[in-house]
Structure 1
Amino acid sequence: MSTLTKYLVYGPKDTLRRFPEKLFEQHEPKYLYNYEDTSGNEKIYVAVFEQYEKQINATITLTCVVECTNSQNRIEMKKSGGRMGFRGSSLTEEKNIESDIVDFIMDFSKRFGLSLQEIAEKKETENPDS
């Protein structure tokens, strides 16, 4: 199971720069790598989150890449692991790490008046003519 989610966040430079610090403070990643270019205009963070789900006896891994520029933050999340197929329903559904991170992105954007845009993946259509 693998899903890719992308977001763009627009707003003031100082608020955009504060976003990754607050994210990693609230949700501590298992691994964190950061890079800053020599001019200081761009910062890139790569974080790996892991969460064990008891109900399905599997570990879910979420890789989160946050690119901070002066005008926008680009966030890409790739979820992998877990189990595929129908496992039944549960009354005590556990929140997974991906939904926690998405909730944080939406809450932070709303709280500080930032513009949030989700980038939808374009599905490739088969062209019968080619």
Structure 2
Amino acid sequence: MAILDGSPGIGCPVIASLSGVDLALMVSEPSVSAFSDLKRVITSARQLQVPVAVVVNKYDMNPTICGEIEVFCFKEGIPFLGKIPYDGQVIAALNKGENPACLNSPASNALKRIYNETLQVWKEHVRQ
């Protein structure tokens, strides 16, 4: 498995980053513009026949839009793999050059759960 960090938004670099992948894990933030971009990238991924899953980063910045993203995913049959809270401990660790995955914080614990969920979804799609 290779993990690619694609460009934000919906330009040509985003479309190019979808080429040849087994699964696109879309990480969005709970804002109107990010949700709009998410929908457009999902449409592009589907046109390229790339399966998608969704995660919301900093979900607690706007729980209402996060809920709308979850509902959208449910209606569209898209795996919603989790929500990552805003977490100052992650920022502090990154500023020190430390790996935030080694923390025992709300965001790092969410990331660990999401990682395991992502592996399960990826394995299901690779088998098909």
TM (norm. structure 1) is 0.29
Bigger Rg, which one:
1
Higher helix residue share: 2
Higher strand residue share: 1
TM (norm. structure 2) is 0.30
Of the two structures, which has the highest relative contact order with CA contacts closer than 8 Å and spacing of 6 or more? 1
